[in-house]
């Protein structure tokens, strides 16, 4: 059981009303260039300008302004949706709160992904987290479905490449050899492209097995 995000950086002390903005380069690395909440990669949103710094515990609810541990790298939509939401004392007592990807396992414990690409809560925390952050907005579900489809295509391409490679080895020189080599080269490019796209896709959230 380990949190999804490990903070490595120790930025210099930040002061003042907007001092926390100096944490940006440290946060981007520590959060692996992804939104802390929806896991979208900067590249999927056109770059870091579509991201900003979120105060996990909102400033209006007593959250620290410049404490690095209260700063999260998030996409602007998640930041706007979360705004200053924070559970009441009564909600917290019943387990309704945001899952904290920096201090606990969130996906797989508090929510899992369905085959249709929606997140299904498993706990009150998951219910609060998924609904308050609107993690089932259509665009995110579409990205998750596309990711799953690319995984299928990648597996298919790997299998075809293997079978074709064996066919070429078995009969190194016949009338179809040149075409097989062209197909192999095509499959290699397809695999490289899919692997590149999957490297920045939203990771699949599966139930924790152990």
User: Which stretches of the chain bind Zn ion, using CB under 5 A?
Assistant: 35, 37-38, 75, 78
Compute the least distance from the CB of residue 95 to Zn ion, in Å: 23
Compute the least distance from the CB of residue 61 to Zn ion, in Å: 20
Task: Count Cβ atoms within 10 A of the Cβ of residue 172 and give its class: 0-12 exposed, 13-18 middle, 19 or more buried.
Answer: exposed
Q: Which is nearer to Zn ion, 134 or 151 (CB)?
A: 134
* Long-range Cβ contact pairs of 160-166 (< 8 A, separation 24 or more): 160/187, 161/187, 161/188, 161/191
* Cα distances (angstroms) measured from residue 44 to each of 33, 166, 177, 200: 10, 37, 39, 7
Q: Which is nearer to Zn ion, 75 or 194 (CB)?
A: 75
Answer yes or no: are the C-beta atoms of 37 and 82 closer than 8 Å: yes
Q: Which is nearer to Zn ion, 143 or 187 (CB)?
A: 143
Compute the least distance from the CB of residue 153 to Zn ion, in Å: 25
Answer yes or no: are the C-beta atoms of 15 and 67 closer than 8 Å: no
Q: Which is nearer to Zn ion, 35 or 205 (CB)?
A: 35
Compute the least distance from the CB of residue 35 to Zn ion, in Å: 3
Q: Which residue has the tokens 């998030």?
A: 74
- H/E run at residue 192: helix 177-199
Q: Which is nearer to Zn ion, 43 or 191 (CB)?
A: 43
Continuous H helices in 60-104? 76-82, 89-93
Compute the least distance from the CB of residue 14 to Zn ion, in Å: 23
């Amino acid at each position: 059981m380990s949190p999804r995000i490990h903070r490595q950086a120790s930025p210099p002390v930040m002061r003042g009303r907007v001092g926390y903005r100096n944490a940006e380069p440290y946060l981007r690395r520590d959060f692996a260039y992804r939104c802390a909440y929806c896991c979208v990669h900067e590249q999927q949103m056109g770059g870091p300008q579509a991201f900003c710094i979120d105060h996990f515990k909102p400033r209006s609810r007593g959250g620290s302004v410049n404490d690095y541990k209260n700063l999260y790298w998030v996409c602007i939509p998640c930041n706007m949706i979360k705004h200053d939401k924070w559970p009441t004392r009564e909600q917290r007592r019943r387990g309704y709160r945001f899952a904290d990807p920096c201090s606990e396992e969130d996906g797989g414990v508090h929510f899992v992904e369905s085959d249709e690409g929606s997140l299904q809560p498993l706990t009150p925390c998951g219910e609060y987290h998924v609904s308050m952050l609107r993690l089932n907005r259509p665009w995110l579900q579409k990205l998750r479905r596309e990711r799953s489809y690319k995984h299928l295509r990648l597996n298919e391409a790997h299998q075809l490449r293997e079978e074709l490679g064996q066919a070429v080895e078995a009969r190194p020189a016949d009338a179809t050899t040149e075409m097989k080599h062209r197909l192999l080269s095509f499959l290699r490019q397809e695999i490289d492209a899919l692997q590149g796209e999957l490297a920045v896709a939203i990771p699949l959230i599966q139930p924790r097995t152990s």
